[in-house]
Amino acid sequence: MIKPMKKKIVALTALLAGFSMPALAGEAEVKKALEPTVGKVEKISKSPIAGLWEVAVDGQIFYADDKGNYLLAGNLIEIKTGKNLTAERQFAALPLELAVKQVRGTGKNVLVTFEDPNCGYCKKLAKELQSVKNLTLYTFLYPVLGEDSTEKSKMIWCSADKAKAWNDWMINGKAPTAAPPKCSTAGLDKSIELGRKLRINGTPAMFFTTGERVGGYIPATEIEKRFNGRDS
């Protein structure tokens, strides 16, 4: 997992090299040059480093040189602050409109989770998060434990109050009601596709605004330490 960079700067590593192309300068040209090799470029913009472009491909962020000759994979660190700019950008790019949103108190502490409704540790996490104050919680429904998980996720997604239906099930054990026949689950499908792009293989998976990613359960006390800017 990625932690706030207080200990060691992770060097960028060369992922792809050897393109043979003329000098390029524009966004469209760099995108056109890269796509035959890396696939669809979802977004491209100038990075904080002169001559490097930030490139989003399949949910991941890479960096391309201004001539389109090299693609770099790794974390871009701002030395002065220790911020992991790559991880922060990946967090900012999450389509939070697809998540079940809950706000408690001021909501200043933001946490994103990917969870399966039949995951035991997800249920434990849901109960523990009730004690975390001033929380904005975004939960992506991510059924990976079989057909029943998919059906329950559809029921929750189609509920008039998704957050209530989620908590009723995860915390109180009250099963959600059947999804209406005409309910569209396109948003749920997009959440599942997103989880696969992010290579989430188990639940819960957590993302913090610093870009730190935690695969698996951690108690509320450890989550609060991260909100307070402290290592676990």
Q: What is the pLDDT of residues 7-44, one digit of tens each?
A: 333 333 333 333 333 444 588 888 888 888 888 888 88
CATH of 13-92 given 3.40.50.300, 3.10.450.70, 3.40.50.970, 3.30.565.10: 3.10.450.70
pTM: 0.78
Instruction: Identify the three-state secondary structure at position 35.
Output: helix
Strand order in the sheet with 135-141: 100-103, 135-141, 109-115, 205-208, 213-215
pLDDT digits (tens, 9 = 90+) for 44-100: 888 888 888 888 887 788 898 887 778 888 888 888 888 888 888 888 889 999 999
Q: Domain segments of the chain: what residues?
A: 13-92, 96-227
Give the span between the Cα atoms of 117 and 11, in whole angstroms.
38
Domains 13-92 and 96-227 share a fold: no
Measured CA to CA, the distance from residue 85 to residue 201 in angstroms comes to 24
Q: In this predicted model, what pLDDT tens digit does every residue of 147-194 receive, in sequence order?
A: 999 999 999 999 999 999 999 999 999 998 887 888 999 999 999 999
Return the CATH architecture of domain 96-227: 3-Layer(aba) Sandwich (3.40)
